Amino acid sequence: MLLGACSQSDATAGTGAALFDYCRVDEKPCASGLTCSNQQCTKSCATAADCGMDGACGVGASGEQICTPRCSDALDGRVTDSICVDGAYHHCDSNPCAAGLVCVQGRGCVQPTGGTCASAWDCVSRNCGADGTCKVADGAACTKDDCDFCSTLAGVTGRTFCVKPCQSRFDCVSGVCEPSQGSLVCRPSCLSECQCREVAPMSAADPYQSYCENELLPVP
């Protein structure tokens, strides 16, 4: 896991990086007794007591118990490979979720397409349908069974696109939040086969976006 800022002070020069500090095997090795795992110094553990005041005993990619920083929120965008379970990070490759759920880094254990949902964040796809089940992601190929509004684009043959309502660009996984027939929806991103329109960034933090402005046609 890569959390960015160090949770403990830098180790004394020449002794190697400390527990939970940033590391690289070839440039910034860890202190004696620690190993560098995904650019962070860690060590094996049996309980949280082995990991210091700010640490917890979590689970690595292969299922091994390793020290991780203590956590409290499954929705941690800083985490690149793990989720927070009972105060410790568990690597998604260690299968920390119950049967039928999917581990999504920084989000937690969520439902696959077809699973039950109360909000978009319950779904891998971030698309909770009107019937309370997870649909495919916006922009993905779809059928009427796995998308509330499965559409084609006028002039684009042989492809379908799942379209969902949105309020801002943050609601769209791959599409662009723009009007269609009086409502804001995640429109498919620009394709070579369609007429594209660019969206001017509202601030320096906004990404460059363009989308297909061809008419959205519901799948019969």
User: Tens digit of pLDDT per residue, the chain (220 long)?
Assistant: 655 444 443 344 457 899 999 998 788 899 999 998 878 899 999 999 999 998 999 999 999 999 999 988 766 666 778 899 889 999 999 999 999 999 998 788 999 999 999 999 999 999 999 999 999 999 999 999 999 999 999 999 999 999 999 998 889 998 899 998 889 999 999 999 999 999 877 777 778 889 999 999 999 8
pLDDT for the residue numbered 187: 95
Looking at the structure, tell me whether residues 85 and 179 fall in a common domain. Answer: no
Do the Cβ atoms of 52 and 42 come closer than 8 Å? no
8 Å CB contact between 42 and 64:
no
Q: How far apart, in Å, are the Cα atoms of 132 and each of 99, 117, 120?
A: 20, 5, 10
Is residue 73 assigned to a domain?
yes
Mark whether 197 and 102 lie in a shared domain: no
What are the C-alpha distances in Å from 179 to residues 2, 26, 38, 101?
38, 51, 42, 33
- Counting Cα atoms < 13 Å in the Cβ hemisphere of 142 gives 30
Residue 2: its pLDDT value, please? 53
Range of the structural domain that residue 65 is part of: 1-110
* Domain presence at residue 133: no
170 and 65 belong to one structural domain: no
Whether 119 is covered by a domain: the verdict is no
Number of domains in the chain: 2
Are 105 and 199 found together in one domain?
Answer: no
Within 10 angstroms of residue 87's Cβ, the number of other Cβ atoms is: 13
Query: Is residue 14 one of the residues assigned to a domain?
Result: yes
- 103 and 3 part of one domain: yes
pLDDT at position 76 is 65
Instruction: Please say which residue of 69, 90, 110 terminates a domain.
Output: 110
Model confidence, pTM: 0.76
Let me know if residue 121 belongs to a domain. Answer: no
In DSSP notation, the chain reads ---SS-SSPPPPTTS-BPTT-B-BTTTBPBPTT-EEETTEEE-B-SSGGGG-TTEEEEE-TTS-EEEEE----S--TT-SSEEEETTEEEEGGG--SPTT-EEETTTEEEB-TTSB-SSGGGBTTS-B-TTSBB-PPTTS---SSS-TEEEEETTEEEEEEEE-B-SSGGG-SSSEEEEETTEEEEEPBP-TTS-EEEE--SSTTSPPEEEE-SPEEE--
Task: Look at residue 5 in the predicted model and tell me its pLDDT.
Answer: 40
